[in-house]
Structure 1
Amino acid sequence: MALIKLPGKSYNTDAVNPFVNNVFDNLFNDSFISDRLVTRVPAVNITESADAFSIEVAAPGLQKSDFKINVDKNIISISVEKQEEKEENGKVYSKKEFSYTSFSRSFTLPDIVDYANIDASYESGVLAVKIGKKEEAIVAKRLIEVK
């Protein structure tokens, strides 16, 4: 059996053809292209307390009216679709930019959810959705006496 050492990171590929490597590195690391290729889905925190579930969605730069929250059977969906058009006219140039923001997140709700007790608020760039539990699902705490 023979062991052969393959070239790793220490192998200098720029010595072979530095132009090709620089072009591809610049192309794939360019923020203009990578920003448009990456799907932006906001971060979500989900917590559970004794009487409710809480979903927090980090979505800065939006308005309360931009959010749509739908509950269908046991699935809650939070979505945003926002389109802006901005035009600037200067002395020598004209620039027009479109901005389109959209995302959708869906979560399966357990059977213990009280569908009539769902509230949402948006403050400081965080959407907070509170989903209450049914009364029979809330466990009462009590002290058990040892006999």
Structure 2
Amino acid sequence: MTLVKFNPEKRNNGSLMPGFNDVFESIFNDTFFNDRMVARVPAVNISESEDHFHVELAAPGLKKEYFKLNLAHNVLNISVQQRNEQDDNGKNYSKREYSYTSWVRSFTLPESANAEQIEAAYTDGVLKIDIAKREEAKAVRRQIEIK
């Protein structure tokens, strides 16, 4: 049995068959299809401290061997080529929705970044990249006396 979402607000849209469009909207607006039509790339948090830029990329379930980081022309590329492991141990799937794909995220480094000092670590499903700032770009802080 298939459930079809019906929207009574759209009932009087001049269509000869009022429920006809609801069937297609139900199919194509379903999260199952929408999730697969949208490119999947991991979410990223970018922050800045006094002497570093920090990039945190949420990529759970991966192994650190899948990641490739490279820097070319001041652009940091983070890519994943995940191998689809066929070790199913004799399982006979009736439905399989895990998606194993490749993706690339690219970030242009600011002029203040020191491309020679980039460190990366992958723990607990988060890839953390620390990019040092150049000495001249580090914030100069001092206490100003009020007279």
Tell me if TM exceeds 0.5. yes
TM norm structure 1: 0.76
1:99-134 Cα deviation digits (max 9, x unpaired): 432211111111221122100111111111000011
- The alignment status of 1:68 with 2:68, answered yes or no, reads yes
Instruction: Give how far 1:69 is off.
Output: 0.7
Number of residues of Structure 1 aligned to a counterpart in Structure 2: 137
RMSD: 2.9
Q: In the alignment, does 2:125 pair up with 1:125?
A: yes
- Paired residues of 1:84 and 1:99 also in contact (CA < 8 A): no
Q: Which residue of 2 aligns with 1:33?
A: 33
Aligned match of 2:103: 103
Change (3 A) 1:20 1:141: same
**Would the aligned equivalents of 1:67 and 1:79 in 2 still touch at CA under 8 Å?**
yes
Give the direction of change, closer, same or farther, for the CA distance of 1:51–1:13 in structure 2 (3 Å limit): same
Write the letter of the residue equivalent to 1:12: R
Alignment partners' CA distance in 1, 2:49 and 2:93: 54
Which ranges of structure 1 fall in alignment gaps of 5 or more residues?
1-8
Question: Aligned in 2, Cα 1:83/1:13: closer, same or farther, shift over 3 Å?
Answer: farther
Superposed counterparts of 1:1-147, under 5 Å:
10-13=9-12, 16-86=16-86, 87=88, 89=90, 99-145=99-145
Higher strand share: 1
What is the aligned-residue identity percentage? Answer: 46
TM-score calculated relative to the size of structure 2: 0.76
Larger radius of gyration: 1
**Alpha-carbon spacing, 1:110–1:11, altered in 2? closer, same or farther (3 Å):** closer
Change in Cα spacing, 1:76 to 1:10, as seen in structure 2 (3 Å) is: same
